[in-house]
Amino acid sequence: MTRVLIVHHDIDLSDQEVDSLRRRGYDAQQCRGPIGASCPILAGLPCSLAEGADVLVYDAFATGEPDGARALIEGMREIHPKVPIVLVASGMEPAWMETAGLHGVTPLVGLPTGERLVAAIEAALGSPGPEEDADVGQARMPSRGAAPRAPGGPDTPGGPGGAGW
């Protein structure tokens, strides 16, 4: 089962994305990112939640402001380069978003419906998935193994006391 970590500043939208992915067979957990708690990535440290995920789905405004989101995504790519990221920009695509290279992500621009989330996740994982929309899967990341990973440290999905992998 593919483990997906949803990082979103809006808990209600995050809940909807997690529920949608769980109905489709994904093991989805959520994190509020730096808005909800201290973020190890912004401190230059590894994130045990990211280490336990096969793919990350980030809200383009997870920090609440554009420059912080860029720093967060770039830090995540530098610290955890093997974990693919789907960057969800439901309104407009951030000018700083890269689809290739070290900081490359798989963009999902527009409404993140369940079908579009699945297509973007499968594109990020390099797996054959549902047919892609024009603005989903613009970049194919190298295939990622889905080997089991051990849960890490105290920052479990959902915050303190949340369920971990």
23 domain-assigned: yes
Residue 149 lies in a domain: no
**Residue range 64-68: average pLDDT?**
73
Residue 152 lies in a domain: no
Domain that holds residue 21: 3-125
Total number of domains constituting the chain: 1
Q: Which long-range contacts (CB under 8 A, 24 or more apart) does 103-107 make?
A: 103/73, 103/74, 103/77, 103/78, 104/77, 104/139, 104/141, 105/58, 105/73, 105/77, 105/139, 106/136, 106/137, 106/138, 106/139, 106/140, 106/141, 107/135, 107/136, 107/138, 107/139
Average pLDDT over residues 71-80: 91
Mean pLDDT of the chain: 78
Tell whether 98 is covered by a domain.
yes
| pLDDT at site 55 | 97
Please indicate, yes or no, if residue 43 is contained in any of the structural domains.
Answer: yes
Residue 54: inside a domain, yes or no? yes
pLDDT tens digits, 106-145: 999 998 999 999 999 999 999 654 333 334 433 333 333 3
Q: What is the pLDDT of residue 65?
A: 73
